[in-house]
């Protein structure tokens, strides 16, 4: 692609770094931004810059937050000894939308995936094991997607915390096996988290 402007070229190159955005789409978006009111484009740039500079990860559950301890962790009405283990913030949002869960979360930040070079130490697993070891947890609910990576991650964590004699459960997602949590419909997900099953019984296949 030949550009008549270095400024334009740079913007297109940056935009095309985004997943699913090729050079052509990037050019279309950038040209759109040149056409729209300047305030709108600058508003977007500003929002991105502020988000990147100021966003925090909750010191307890690792969820994305504007403050050190997220709203869920600092809510006195939540059950602090029931922890739902999820992959990322999208899962937290999906489960929160069901209004069926009153405990806390632990956001791993991904799943163990040797193929993608993601090992247990790249995820927030250690801090979870520490919470359990300190006796702060009565029940852990595994809510990762039912993929091979999700199962591997669940099992890895289970092995780490097995010695502490706490209840482990998993959300029963028999209806939509393989679906990512973010796509599960809210009623099904809500019912699953209420009618969760012991983790051990999910292993016997
Ligand atoms: Zn939190």
pLDDT single digits (tens) 146-156: 788 989 999 99
Q: What is the pLDDT of residue 94?
A: 86
Distance 77 CA to ligand 1 centre (A): 14
6-54 architecture in CATH?
A: Orthogonal Bundle (1.10)
Residue 104 burial (CB count, 10 A): 23
Q: What is the pLDDT of residue 101?
A: 93
Distance 22 CA to ligand 1 centre (A): 36
Distance 169 CA to ligand 1 centre (A): 21
Pairing of strands 64-65, 56-57: antiparallel
Distance 62 CA to ligand 1 centre (A): 6
| Fold of the 68-203 domain | Dna Topoisomerase Vi A Subunit; Chain: A, domain 2 (3.40.1360)
Distance 2 CA to ligand 1 centre (A): 47
Distance 66 CA to ligand 1 centre (A): 11
Q: Where are the domains of the chain?
A: 6-54, 68-203
Distance 142 CA to ligand 1 centre (A): 17
Q: What is the pLDDT of residues 2-41, one digit of tens each?
A: 899 999 999 999 999 999 999 999 999 999 999 999 999 9
Distance 87 CA to ligand 1 centre (A): 14
Answer for the pair 78, 72: CB distance below 8 angstroms, yes or no.
yes
Distance 67 CA to ligand 1 centre (A): 9
Q: Band the pLDDT of 64: cuts 50, 70, 90.
A: very high
Answer for the pair 180, 88: CB distance below 8 angstroms, yes or no.
no
Distance 54 CA to ligand 1 centre (A): 16
| Cα distance from N-terminal residue to C-terminal residue, the chain | 54
Q: What is the pLDDT of residues 74-128, one digit of tens each?
A: 999 999 999 999 999 988 998 898 888 999 999 999 999 999 999 999 999 999 9
Distance 64 CA to ligand 1 centre (A): 8
- Positive or negative, the Cα torsion across 70, 153, 123, 49? negative
Whether the domain at 6-54 and the domain at 68-203 fall into the same CATH topology:
no
Tokens 């988000």, residue located:
51
Distance 154 CA to ligand 1 centre (A): 20
- Answer whether residue 178 shows pLDDT above 50: no
The SS3 of residue 79 is: coil
CA within 13 Å, CB half, 103: 18
Distance 47 CA to ligand 1 centre (A): 23
């Amino acid at each position: 692609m030949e550009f008549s402007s270095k400024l334009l070229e740079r913007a297109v190159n940056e935009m095309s770094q985004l997943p699913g955005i090729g050079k052509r789409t990037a050019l279309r978006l950038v040209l759109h931004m040149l056409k729209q009111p300047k305030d709108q484009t600058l508003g977007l740039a500003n929002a991105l810059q502020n988000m990147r500079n100021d966003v925090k990860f909750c010191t307890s559950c690792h969820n994305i937050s504007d403050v050190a301890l997220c709203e869920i962790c600092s809510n006195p009405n939540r059950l602090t000894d029931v922890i739902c283990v999820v992959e990322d913030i999208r899962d937290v949002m999906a489960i929160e939308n069901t209004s069926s869960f009153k405990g806390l979360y632990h956001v791993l930040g991904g799943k163990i995936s040797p193929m993608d070079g993601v090992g247990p130490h790249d995820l927030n697993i250690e801090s979870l094991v520490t919470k359990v070891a300190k006796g702060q947890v009565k029940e852990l609910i595994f809510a990762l997607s039912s993929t091979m990576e999700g199962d591997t991650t669940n099992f890895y964590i289970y092995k780490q915390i097995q010695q502490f004699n706490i209840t482990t459960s998993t959300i029963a997602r028999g209806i939509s096996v393989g679906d990512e949590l973010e796509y599960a419909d809210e009623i099904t997900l809500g019912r699953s988290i209420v009618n969760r099953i012991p983790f051990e019984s999910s292993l016997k296949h």
